[in-house]
Chains A and B, each alone.
Chain A
Amino acid sequence: MGRLGRVVLLAGPLLWVIGANIAPLIEMARISLLDTYPAPPGHPARYSLDSYAAFLTSPIYRGAFFHSLVLAAAITVLALLVTYPLAYLIAIRTKPRRRARRLLLLIVPFWTSEIVRAFAIMLLLANRGAVNATIHWLGVVNAPLPLLYNQFSVGFGMLYAALLAMLLPVYAALERLPPDVLNAAASAGAGPWSRLVRVTLPLTRDGIAAGCALVFLTSLGAFAVPTLLGGAGTTLFSMTIGSMFASSAGRWPLGAAFGLIMLGSGLGVVGLIMRMARRHEIAPG
């Protein structure tokens, strides 16, 4: 390929990455440092750190932030616990020609909109929903259980949404695992538990780390599911951020700063996860 051809081939994607992927984040960072935005006529905006100070001094904002971090971490751990055995079953304990079908069955529900999935969970958990109707019909309790519009329903919906993001990277890592390795461990006398802890888990840590990173970031930024399924006292940081843009009251700098705080802390946690995965590179034992 000619030199000119290579330059043209590269220029488009490079422009897109900078102009469409990075530029919005830079604009967000810039607005987070302004005192007002959009600036009222006649009063040019000045640079200030007020928005960041507001975060540090307000227990409400910090509370929502920590709530989001803890919830995202919990969802990540739960998603891994649910998904890893499934991925193991499909990638290692299923005949190759049946793998695609088993995997597909877990993927299909994620082709629909998150709004539709949230609505489906409402039908399941509402006071007159499927679960409460079943319990009532069985005659276990008289009053419906409060399953919707609380922490439980938010966690339920977010875990549901997180499964696919965890499943695919973990499955890909398990599928790459050479069967010989497990056979060798077995013939060397390693029991099932020892094979899992000393061979399978360490050798699939890349997939685990990637899945955890993806689930943590998406859970941190989830907005529709916690808004629809949550209630009083379940305010997450994403909802705080969203509310800064809902009204025309000009709270964009605050929302931008909070968005940057979320992105920074999210990527920070992901960096930690990746470092942990790398540190265990030397197989333990």
Chain B
Amino acid sequence: MMRPAGRHGVLHALYRTVVVWLFLPLALILLMSTTDSPIVGFPVERFTMRWYGDVLTDRDVLRAFSYSCVAAGGSAALALAVGLWTALAVTALRNAFMRTALFCGACLPIVTPGIVSAISLRMFIRLLGLDPGFAAIVLGHGIHAAPFIVIMLTVRLRMMPTNLVDAARTLGANQVRAFLHVTLPWLYPAMAGATVRALLESFDDFLRSFFLGGYQATLPVMIYGRLFSGLSPEINAIAAIVLMLTISIGVAGERLFRRERPT
């Protein structure tokens, strides 16, 4: 059935076209961030690194960046705790209906359209008596990221040989020890991958941060705000830094996740 690649020339051409289509705009960010012109536009004549220097000494950018990082850390921790707990409960449930119901309920935030998620959370934090700001962003991002963790950990738990925990119990480990020394280590690679995913979901998020944020903007909200005053070299450099950072985190997470996965 496997045929030489030449037979599927059209498919390969389509693949290459889509890859170029996906990467070309991102490559433009990197290219334009080094052009020595106060107006963003082609043609590029001279190169400079000064926009990076400007951005790295811009206090507003640095504050937004650290704000985004701390929010990502907080919401990933929240999502990991909730996601791990939910994945364990989903796997432990024997009743198929209950299992499906809990799993679907836990995945609800994924299928909620973005704007509906953002505004319903905005109304929800008011119900909780929470002002827009850091706590609201952490909660909102945590709610949004938890389903990804539930899915990744549930998949991993289902692949776990059922007799592993039994063996530990037979050898005298109590439930807690069996969990800490058998189940948890089995989950580590998936937890690492899921944590990276949650960090990126939060760091990249615009919608929830926009509706749940207070005076201090996260990095994507700051870029959004500045984009309305036109394209400028500074935004370009910020976008380039965010681009390189998020993609490196993603690549690192991917390697971590794949390397530790037994084949």
Contact = CB atoms under 8 A, between A and B. Distances in A.
A17 B105 contact: yes
A223 B21 CA distance: 22
Contacts of A70: none
Nearest to B111: A217
A262 interface: yes
B96 interface: no
Using C-beta atoms within 8 Å of the partner chain, give the interface range for chain A: 35 or more
Interface in A214-260: 214, 217-218, 220-224, 228, 238, 241-242, 244-245, 252, 255-256, 259-260
A27 B11 contact: no
Interface in A156-202: 160, 163, 179, 182-183, 186
For the residues of B in contact with A, the DSSP-based class is helix
A21 B146 CA distance: 10
Contacts of B130: none
B111 A108 contact: no
A112 B25 CA distance: 12
A23 B124 contact: yes
Contact of A263 (B88, B116, B207, B249): B116
B207 A21 contact: no
Given A24-B123, A121-B25, A245 B211 contact: yes
Interface residues of B, number: 85
A89 B12 contact: yes
Interface in A51-84: 82
B249 A117 contact: no
B242 A116 contact: yes
Interface of A: 1, 5-6, 9-10, 12-14, 16-18, 20-25, 27-28, 31, 38, 82, 85-86, 88-90, 93, 95, 100, 102, 104-106, 108-109, 111-124, 126-130, 132-133, 137, 160, 163, 179, 182-183, 186, 213-214, 217-218, 220-224, 228, 238, 241-242, 244-245, 252, 255-256, 259-260, 262-263, 266-267, 270
